[in-house]
C-alpha cells in the first residue's frame, strides 16, 4: 500500500517515530488499525483521547476497547475478508463526516471518564473502600467482548463451556 498512490485524502504513513505519532493521529479521521496482532490497543485509547474515532478489527484489545458508539469495528476474518471489510467501512465513513465527529466526541468523553489517571484513581479508591470498609460494590468498567470469529469452512463448531 505504501508503494501505490492512495485515494485522495488517504495517507499511509508507514512507521513513525513516537514523537510524530500524536501530531499525525490528531489529524486522522478515523484512525484505522486493521491489525490482528495488536493485543493491547493503547493506540486506540490514544486516538479516542484526541477525539479521533478508531476503526478496528473486532478482535482482542482493540475490539474490546471500542464499545458501541465509540468507534467502528470490522469483523475478524481472513486477510482478504478484512481488506474487503476495511475498504467498505472506509468508503462508508468517508461519506459520513458528521458521524465521525459525533463518534469521536463520544470516544473522547469515554476516555476522559474512564481512562485518565484521575478516573483510574477514583475507581481504585472505590474498590479499596468496598474491600476494606464494606462500602458499596463499585461498578467496574467492563470491556466489550469481541465478536466470535466465524469458523472456517468445513471446521467443526467450537465447543461452548
Lowest mean pLDDT among 18-32, 95-109, 137-151: 137-151
Task: Please report the pLDDT score of residue 143 as a whole number.
Answer: 52
Confidence of residue 155 (pLDDT cuts 50, 70, 90): low
Is there a domain that residue 8 lies in? no
Cα(11)–Cα(8) distance, rounded to whole angstroms? 8
Task: Please report the pLDDT score of residue 13 as a whole number.
Answer: 79
Residue-wise pLDDT for 116-141, tens only, equals 999 989 989 999 999 998 888 888 76
Is there a domain that residue 147 lies in? no
Is there a domain that residue 158 lies in? no
Lowest mean pLDDT among 77-86, 94-103, 150-159: 150-159
Is there a domain that residue 154 lies in? no
Is there a domain that residue 77 lies in? yes
pTM, two decimals, is: 0.76
pLDDT at 159 over 80: no
Domain enclosing residue 77, as ranges: 18-133
SS (H, E, C) the chain: CCCCCCCCCCCCCCCCCHHHHHHHHHCCCCEEECCCCCCCCHHHHHHHHCCCCEEEECCHHHHHHCCCCCCEEECCCCHHHHHHHHHHHHHHHHCCHHHHHHHHHHHHHHHHHHCCHHHHHHHHHHHHHHHHHCCCCCCCCCCCCCCCCCCCCCCCCCCCC
Task: Please report the pLDDT score of residue 135 as a whole number.
Answer: 83
Neighbours of 134 (CB within 10 A): 8
Is there a domain that residue 155 lies in? no
Is there a domain that residue 98 lies in? yes
Total of domains in the chain: 1
Residues 6+ apart with CB under 8 A from 84: 77
Is there a domain that residue 74 lies in? yes
127, 119, 53, 101: CA torsion to nearest 10? 130
Residue-wise pLDDT for 46-71, tens only, equals 999 999 999 999 999 899 999 999 99
In this structure, the chain runs to a length of 161
More confident residue, 139 or 24: 24
What's the CATH number where 30 sits? 3.40.50.2000
Amino acid at each position: 500500500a505504501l508503494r501505490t498512490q492512495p485515494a485522495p485524502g488517504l495517507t499511509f504513513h508507514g512507521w513513525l517515530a513516537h514523537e510524530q505519532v500524536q501530531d499525525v493521529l490528531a489529524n486522522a479521521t478515523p484512525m484505522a488499525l486493521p491489525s490482528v496482532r495488536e493485543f493491547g490497543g493503547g493506540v486506540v485509547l490514544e486516538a479516542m483521547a484526541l477525539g479521533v474515532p478508531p476503526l478496528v478489527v473486532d478482535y482482542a484489545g482493540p475490539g474490546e476497547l471500542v464499545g458501541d458508539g465509540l468507534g467502528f469495528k470490522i469483523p475478524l476474518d481472513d486477510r482478504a475478508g478484512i481488506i474487503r471489510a476495511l475498504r467498505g467501512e472506509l468508503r462508508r465513513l468517508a461519506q459520513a463526516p458528521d458521524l465521525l465527529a459525533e463518534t469521536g466526541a463520544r470516544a473522547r468523553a469515554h476516555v476522559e471518564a474512564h481512562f485518565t489517571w484521575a478516573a483510574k484513581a477514583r475507581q481504585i479508591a472505590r474498590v479499596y473502600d468496598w474491600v476494606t470498609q464494606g462500602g458499596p460494590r463499585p461498578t467496574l468498567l467492563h470491556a466489550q467482548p469481541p465478536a466470535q470469529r466465524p469458523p472456517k469452512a468445513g471446521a467443526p463448531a467450537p465447543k461452548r463451556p
